[in-house]
Amino acid sequence: DRDYEYYSQVENGAELGSSIFLGANVGHNWQNGNLVYSVEGDIKGFNGMAARALGPACNNYNLGISAAVATSLVGRVGYTFGDTMVYGLAGYTGAMFKNHHWDCSDRDGDMRWFNGWTAGVGGEMKLSGNASLKLEGRFSGFERVDWTDPSEEDFGAKPILGTISIGINFRF
């Protein structure tokens, strides 16, 4: 059995990919003086390879994982300074990853769901009466998921995602 764990592959020189994502979020804020509390849910669609564990080409296996879609439900706590707010967040995340298993053919390629956690920091700056500009950084860690490919080879992955997002929020 050849068993890949994402973290050990990163330590051994896995290539981390980059991706552009597009998403939407919905939430509700409560304010008490300068403190802001909120609950927020989001969904993001990715385009690109999240990571590929490196190994010898052909006849020895390589494993790649590309994020397809991710969603989260987080709590946020922020502090306002005039028209600007800084905040921290933490909560649940889940993501669908496409797994690629190469042995000179592109076998497998199944989509698999991973559960995990996410935490991050960010800031919002008021642009107008109901719009704000948002900059946020997040780290997401996912559970390990194991599977057996069509050739009965056992594999596993424990992906991580780091995201930086820029967006515009509209308040209703």
Whether the model pTM is above 0.85: no
pLDDT for position 60: 54
Q: How many residues does the chain have?
A: 172
Identify the bridge partners of residue 88 per DSSP, sorted by sequence position.
Answer: 77, 121
Number of H helices, E strands in the chain: 1, 11
At 147, list the tokens. 């599977």
SS3 30: strand
* Per-residue three-class SS string for 49-111: CCEEECCCCCCCCEEEEEEEEEEEEEEEEEEEECCEEEEEEEEEEEEEEEEEEECCCEEEEEE
Cβ-based neighbours of 128, under 8 Å, separated by 6 or more: none
Average pLDDT of each block of 10 consecutive residues along the chain (172 residues)? 35 53 91 96 78 48 74 97 96 87 58 93 93 94 78 71 89 81
Cβ-based neighbours of 18, under 8 Å, separated by 6 or more: 48
